[in-house]
Structures are given as structure tokens and as C-alpha cells.
């Protein structure tokens, strides 16, 4: 299985200067000088795995291999080697390659990538990427073990990027509903956290988001981005009958049609037309 990743004299590419590039569609990409025929994919695998080669060339080799995965039958001869190479890249010295490999493996729900990422979240000294990225990769297969880690990180982390990713994972976790609702309603939370909370609550409990949005739109002390998020949720997914029967909402939307920023006016007009407010 590994014979394709072991370099031989026959498959090893000639050393190239770091700046060597080809022009494709007006932009430069590193030239890999791949051989014609069946050996091209093995050659790309060799470049990808060569830690002495440049990062741009290795990234380019990865792109070629990724594109080739769509070939299905033709890629089968190197599919197992490609997976093995990606798993090896999880520990590559270069973060870009680690990230790309973890992304591809996670999208394929690879067990090795998942266990490595979880281990890193529990024991940061073993982490191959930061906790935000790790949660993002784990979100492709957010099972109970991942969700409990996400809840802890949302509570404890001071990094809003990590907390946003935790919210994404929590969006499939019914046990997190209360935490998400609290974050959404908390005006001290950053707008980005509250907007992600809205998306997470929408995924978990659409009616709860509609209930919140109805209140947020009437709250004149709310941040405009939050009101716009609430209005967008109501406009797209709300119940027209309920909205048209809500006198306070109709009045508020009427005010927005004439006062406020251009985007709020447009939203209010759109809601009026769509839901006959």
C-alpha cells in the first residue's frame, strides 16, 4: 500500500527552484512537472509527502490529487495511499498542510482525524491545530463526545472564534438549547456570538428563534445587526398569519419602513409585501 508514497529514483521529481511556476488562466501556480500517464498521481503523492519540498509545491500536489478524487474509478489505485498520506500530514510541520489534511479527512468522517482532534481539545499539549479549527473539523460529525467538549469550551474559552465554533457544534445538541438561548438574549455578548447563536437556535428550535426575533424587533435598544438578523429570520421562515395579527409588530415594521438605515427600510418593505403587514 505504501509503495506509492516511498520515493524511488524513477518517481522522484527533479529538484526545482522554489519559484518555478506555470501560468494557468492568468495566475501562477507551482509547476510539478508531472509525468504523463498513470504515474502522475503517484508522483503527486510523493511530492505531497516530501517535507523537504516547498509548501506551495506540496499544496499544489494536494490540489491535483483532490481534483483527481472526482475521477472515482481512476483514482481507486491510489485512494488508500492518499488517505494514508493525509493522515501523515496531520502531523506535518507546516500548519497549512495540517489544516488541509484535517479538513479533507474530517469531511470524510475519518476516525483517526477525529480522535486526534478530540485528544488535542482535551490535552492542548497534543493539539495539532487550535481549538477553534479543531471544533470546526469535528462539526462534520458532531456526536455526543464532541458536543460535550463544545459546551465546556463555550463556557470557558475567552476566544470568541472558539466560542462561535462551539455554538456551531452545539446546534445539533438539544442539551445546549438553554445555553444558546441565553447567549442570544445577552446584549453583553458580541454581535457575532449572538448571530451564531441565532443560527444555532434556528437549527435546533425554529419556533424559539421566531419567538426571540419577535421580541428583538420590538426592542428599540437592540443592536441594528441583531434586529436585522431577527427580521431576516421572520421574513424568511416566519408565519405570515401570526405576524399580520401582531399589532405591535405591524406598527414597528411600519416605523422601520420610513425611519432608519436603508437596509432596514428595504427589509421592512420586503416583510410588508411578503406577509401583507
Partner 1 sequence: MKVEIEINNSPQAASRYVTWAWSPCRIRVTDPAGITGTSATVGLTQTALGGGGSIRFASTATGAGSATHSLSVPRNGTSVSFFIRGLTASTADPGVQITARRTGTTAPVGTVSLMVRIRKDATTLTNGERDRLIAALAQFNNQGLGRFTDFAGTHVSAGSPEAHGRPGFLPWHRAFVLDLERELQTIDRSVAMPYWRFDRPAPSLFTPQFMGQGTFNGPGTTPVTFAATNPLRFWRAGPAPGIMRDPAFNVNGASPGPLSQAAALALGNPGALFRNFRRLETPLPGTQQDYHGMAHVSFSGPIDSIPTAAQDPLFFFLHCNVDRLWAVWQRQQGRFDIAVAAAYETVTPPNRIGHNLPDTMWPWNGVTTPPRPNFALGGTLASSPCVGAPGPKPKVSDCFDYQGAIKLANNMGFSYDDVPL
Residue list 189-218, contact with partner 1 (CB under 8 A):
195-196, 198-200, 202-203, 206
Q: Does 161 bind partner 1 (CB under 8 A)?
A: yes
Subset of 11-50 contacting partner 1 (CB under 8 A): 22, 24-29, 31-32, 34-38, 40-41
The secondary structure of 75-122 as a DSSP string is: GHHHHHHHHHHHHHHTT-SSHHHHHHHHHHHHHTT-HHHHHHHHHHHH
CB of 198 to partner 1, least distance (A): 8
What is the Cα gyration radius of the chain?
25
Q: Annotate each residue in 105-144 with x if it binds partner 1 (CB under 8 A) or - if it does not, as one string.
A: --xxx----------------------xx--xx-xxxx--
Q: Is 193 helix (H, G, I), strand (E, B) or coil?
A: helix
The stretch near partner 1 (CB under 8 A) out of 3-11, 12-20, 58-66, 180-188 is: 58-66
- The count of C-alpha atoms lying within 13 angstroms of the C-alpha of 174, restricted to the half-sphere facing its C-beta, is 0
Q: State which residue, 5 or 197, has the beta carbon closest to partner 1.
A: 197
8 A C-beta contact, residue 147 and residue 155: no
The stretch near partner 1 (CB under 8 A) out of 116-124, 161-169, 182-190, 212-220 is: 161-169
Distances (CA, A) of 86 to 93, 116, 202: 13, 13, 35
Q: State which residue, 132 or 190, has the beta carbon closest to partner 1.
A: 132
Q: Is 2 helix (H, G, I), strand (E, B) or coil?
A: helix
Pick from 12, 18, 71, 215: which binds partner 1 (CB under 8 A)?
Answer: 71
Separation of alpha carbons 183 and 177, rounded Å: 10
Task: Kindly tell me the sign of the dihedral angle through the C-alpha atoms of 96, 98, 101, 102.
Answer: negative
Q: State which residue, 131 or 247, has the beta carbon closest to partner 1.
A: 131
CB of 115 to partner 1, least distance (A): 18
Q: Is 258 helix (H, G, I), strand (E, B) or coil?
A: helix
Subset of 227-266 contacting partner 1 (CB under 8 A): 228-229, 231-233, 235-237, 263, 266
CB of 133 to partner 1, least distance (A): 4
- List the grid coordinates of 82: 492518499
CB of 74 to partner 1, least distance (A): 6
Q: State which residue, 33 or 185, has the beta carbon closest to partner 1.
A: 33
Burial class (CB in 10 A: 0-12, 13-18, 19+), 202: buried
Q: State which residue, 5 or 229, has the beta carbon closest to partner 1.
A: 229
DSSP state of 130: -
CB of 248 to partner 1, least distance (A): 22
Q: State which residue, 166 or 249, has the beta carbon closest to partner 1.
A: 166
Q: Does 151 bind partner 1 (CB under 8 A)?
A: no
Amino acid at each position: 500500500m505504501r509503495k506509492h508514497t516511498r520515493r524511488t529514483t524513477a518517481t522522484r521529481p527533479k529538484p526545482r527552484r522554489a519559484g518555478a511556476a506555470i501560468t494557468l488562466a492568468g495566475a501562477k501556480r507551482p509547476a510539478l512537472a508531472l509525468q504523463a500517464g498513470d504515474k502522475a498521481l503517484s508522483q503527486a503523492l510523493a511530492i505531497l509527502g516530501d517535507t523537504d519540498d516547498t509548501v506551495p509545491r506540496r499544496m499544489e500536489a494536494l490540489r491535483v490529487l483532490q481534483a483527481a478524487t472526482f475521477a472515482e474509478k481512476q483514482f481507486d489505485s491510489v485512494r488508500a495511499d492518499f488517505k494514508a498520506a493525509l493522515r501523515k500530514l496531520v502531523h506535518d510541520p507546516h500548519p497549512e498542510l495540517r489544516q488541509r489534511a484535517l479538513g479533507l479527512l474530517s469531511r470524510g468522517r475519518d476516525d483517526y482525524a477525529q480522535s486526534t482532534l478530540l485528544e488535542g481539545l482535551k490535552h492542548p499539549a497534543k493539539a495539532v491545530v487550535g481549538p477553534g479549527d479543531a471544533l470546526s473539523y469535528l462539526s462534520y460529525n458532531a456526536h455526543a463526545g464532541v458536543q460535550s467538549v463544545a459546551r465546556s469550551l463555550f463556557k470557558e474559552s475567552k476566544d470568541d472564534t472558539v466560542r462561535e465554533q462551539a455554538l456551531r457544534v452545539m446546534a445539533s445538541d438539544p442539551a445546549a438549547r438553554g445555553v444558546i438561548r441565553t447567549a442570544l438574549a445577552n446584549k453583553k455578548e458580541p454581535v457575532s456570538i449572538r448571530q451564531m447563536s441565532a443560527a444555532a437556535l434556528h437549527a435546533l428550535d425554529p419556533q424559539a428563534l421566531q419567538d426571540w426575533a419577535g421580541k428583538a424587533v420590538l426592542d428599540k435598544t437592540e443592536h441594528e445587526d441583531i434586529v436585522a438578523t431577527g427580521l431576516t429570520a421572520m421574513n424568511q421562515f416566519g408565519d405570515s398569519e401570526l405576524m399580520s395579527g401582531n399589532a405591535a409588530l405591524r406598527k414597528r415594521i411600519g416605523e422601520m419602513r420610513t425611519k432608519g438605515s436603508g437596509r432596514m427600510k428595504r427589509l421592512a418593505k420586503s416583510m410588508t409585501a411578503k406577509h401583507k403587514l
